[in-house]
Amino acid sequence: MKVFVLRLGHRPLRDKRITTHVALTARAFGASGFVLAEVHDEGVVRSVRKVCNTWGGSNFKVLTGVEPVSYINEWKNEGGLVIHLTMYGLHVDDLINTLKSINKDLLIVVGAEKVPPVIYELANYNVAIGHQPHSEVSALAVFLDRLFSGRELHFIYSDAKISVVPTEKGKKVIRHD
């Protein structure tokens, strides 16, 4: 099952950091690609590539400047499902078992300020991570963690140049080159 994350509404001047965090969360929580709608932002791409280069994931896909409605339609035409994360959707607890059992490629859509109504219509599922407003980063992390039942936190990238040795205090890493 392929899982990609589509980030809508990125405003380069305001959202560089949070959009980078959406992409890094996608990568660290088990997705295999990140798609930035409408805009090209070299700063975001560079930051994600830098992390992949050091911590592994050179085959993590990053696409930018993508027209979201066509991308969503194409995803669905190819047999995938589209899941839009929004506080207005159905509670994740009521859907997660269905979504885990479907076994189709998943496109997880997260917004910024205001998501256009067409996205709510096109999504196969509008899913709420609780019904309080919080953030695209927290919503994505909780959703992926539920989807993968926590297994993604133990994943090790085989192409990592560096990895953490867990320690009680301080920082310990090993280099693989």
Q: Which chain residues interact with ligand SAM by CB under 6 A?
A: 85-88, 110-112, 115, 128-130, 132-136, 139
Angle at Cα 39 formed by Cα 35 and Cα 70, nearest 5°?
A: 60
Nearer to ligand SAM, 18 or 49 (CB): 18
**Are the beta carbons of 93 and 142 closer than 8 angstroms?**
no
Residue in the block written with tokens 């499902």: 81
| Shortest reach from residue 115's CB to ligand SAM, in Å | 5
| Length reported for the chain | 177
Nearer to ligand SAM, 57 or 89 (CB): 89
User: Would residue 9 be called left, alpha or beta, if left means φ above 0 and alpha means ψ between -120 and 50 degrees?
Assistant: left
CA separation for the pair 142, 159 (Å, rounded): 26
| Shortest reach from residue 172's CB to ligand SAM, in Å | 35
Nearer to ligand SAM, 56 or 86 (CB): 86
Nearer to ligand SAM, 42 or 121 (CB): 121
Phi and psi at residue 48, to the nearest 5°: -70, -45
Nearer to ligand SAM, 65 or 130 (CB): 130
| Shortest reach from residue 15's CB to ligand SAM, in Å | 10
| Shortest reach from residue 77's CB to ligand SAM, in Å | 23
* Whole-Å CA distances, 163 to 49, 74, 84, 103, 158: 16, 37, 33, 31, 10
| Shortest reach from residue 69's CB to ligand SAM, in Å | 16
Closest-CB residue for ligand SAM? 111
Nearest residue to 96 (alpha-carbon basis) of 112, 80, 108: 108
